């Protein structure tokens, strides 16, 4: 059942299931909390209270926000954790990985650990030579189309970002995403998120004080070298706080393509940090 939290600028839709230590799941751009459909039930079964949230402008959250930065999203997530009685372990995918970094730095009393899935958490630098990597080149061109407002480009990007075997419900899920983004204001929100630079998150990496797990897919089209990106995120945090886990064959959505491996990593992290 969807619940709503009013924050400055709009309302955030979310759903809470289970009992136990709190885990908050935040998806990436152009998607809804259903991105965690293969993960959330297993965390509940393992004894956790799971809050899956729709980002501002997405899913069942309201549209027409004035800003869509990672700092804005972090504020929404902090407000939700506080509303739910926190503290929590915060799981963030892509743009929400960057937001998780900011939330951990700004509200250490409410965030006991962060898990970042394929995170955009650092200032990005474009290198012309990276375009020699075919998956990166193809993904980049489709993201440029998305920035210009093409829903077809976004769907082509999603196909590239899920390399190899697709989830069993791929066709239905793509139709759901298509329908959501055709709702008034949703595609504009996606465009604005694609244009929101991650420098604000990068500036907070050194201020994180809780344990962190960075998860990268080896075939993520968003980076020519996903391992190098993950290692750079870890290196920018205080020594000993973060570690990197690579999932071979995964693209930008490891929690959708390889939920067994992601759940195993998440549960091990939670066992060590959710009860602090």
Sign of torsion, CA 205 97 90 81? Answer: positive
Q: What is the pLDDT of residues 20-74, one digit of tens each?
A: 999 999 999 999 999 999 999 999 999 999 999 999 999 999 998 999 999 999 9
CB atoms within 10 A of CB 134: 10
The separation between CA 62 and the C-alpha centre of its own chain, rounded to angstroms, equals: 19
Which residue range is the domain that position 154 belongs to?
Answer: 3-273
Supply the mean pLDDT for the chain. Answer: 95
pLDDT for position 127: 78
Specify the CATH number for the domain of residue 52. 3.40.50.1820
pTM for the full predicted model? 0.96
| DSSP one-letter string for 85-139 | T--EEEEEETHHHHHHHHHHHH-TTTEEEEEEES---S-----GGGGGSHHHHHH
Task: Output the CA–CA distances (angstroms, integers) from residue 270 to 113, 149, 257, in the order listed.
Answer: 8, 38, 21
Mean pLDDT calculated for residue range 137-144 = 94
Q: What phi and psi, each to the nearest 5 degrees, are found at residue 214?
A: -110, 125
Residues in CB range of 157: below 8 A, 6 or more apart = 139, 142, 143, 145, 146, 221
Mean pLDDT calculated for residue range 252-257 = 97
> Does position 114 have pLDDT exceeding 90, yes or no?
yes
Q: Which of 115, 80, 100 is nearest to 211 (CA)?
A: 115
The number of distinct structural domains making up the chain is 1
Starting from the edge strand earliest in sequence, which strands make up the sheet with 22-26, in order? 3-7, 10-17, 49-53, 22-26, 88-93, 111-117, 212-217, 242-247
CB atoms within 10 A of CB 71: 17
Percent of the chain predicted with pLDDT > 90 = 93
Rounded Cα distance, 25 and 198, in Å? 19
pLDDT for position 195: 93
pLDDT for position 128: 74
On the question of a cis peptide bond just before residue 87, with omega within 30 degrees of 0, the verdict is yes
167 DSSP 8-state letter: P
Task: Output the CA–CA distances (angstroms, integers) from residue 51 to 15, 26, 89, 230, in the order listed.
Answer: 6, 9, 10, 26
pLDDT for position 125: 78
pLDDT for position 124: 81
């Amino acid at each position: 059942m969807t619940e709503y939290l009013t924050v400055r600028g709009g309302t955030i839709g979310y759903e809470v299931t289970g009992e136990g230590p709190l885990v908050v799941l935040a998806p990436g751009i152009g998607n809804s909390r259903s991105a965690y459909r293969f993960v959330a039930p297993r965390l509940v079964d393992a004894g956790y209270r799971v809050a899956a949230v729709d980002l501002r402008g997405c899913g069942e959250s309201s549209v027409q926000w004035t800003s869509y930065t990672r700092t804005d999203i972090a504020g929404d997530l902090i407000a939700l954790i506080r509303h739910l009685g926190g503290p929590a372990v915060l799981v963030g995918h892509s743009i929400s990985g960057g937001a998780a970094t900011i939330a951990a730095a700004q509200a250490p009393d409410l965030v006991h650990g962060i898990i970042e899935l394929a995170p955009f958490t650092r200032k990005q630098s474009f290198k012309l030579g990276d375009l020699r990597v075919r998956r990166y080149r193809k993904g980049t061109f489709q993201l440029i189309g998305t920035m210009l407002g093409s829903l077809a480009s976004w769907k082509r990007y999603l196909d590239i970002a899920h390399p190899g075997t697709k989830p069993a419900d791929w066709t239905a899920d793509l139709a759901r995403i298509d329908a959501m983004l055709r709702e008034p204001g949703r595609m504009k929100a996606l465009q604005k998120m694609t244009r929101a630079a991650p420098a604000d998150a990068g500036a907070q990496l050194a201020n994180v004080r809780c344990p962190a797990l960075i998860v990268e897919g080896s075939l993520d089209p968003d980076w020519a070298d996903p391992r190098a990106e993950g290692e750079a995120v870890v290196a920018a945090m205080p020594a000993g706080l973060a570690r990197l886990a690579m999932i071979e064959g995964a693209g930008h959505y490891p929690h959708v393509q390889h939920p067994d491996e992601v759940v195993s990593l998440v549960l091990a992290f939670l066992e060590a940090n959710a009860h602090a």
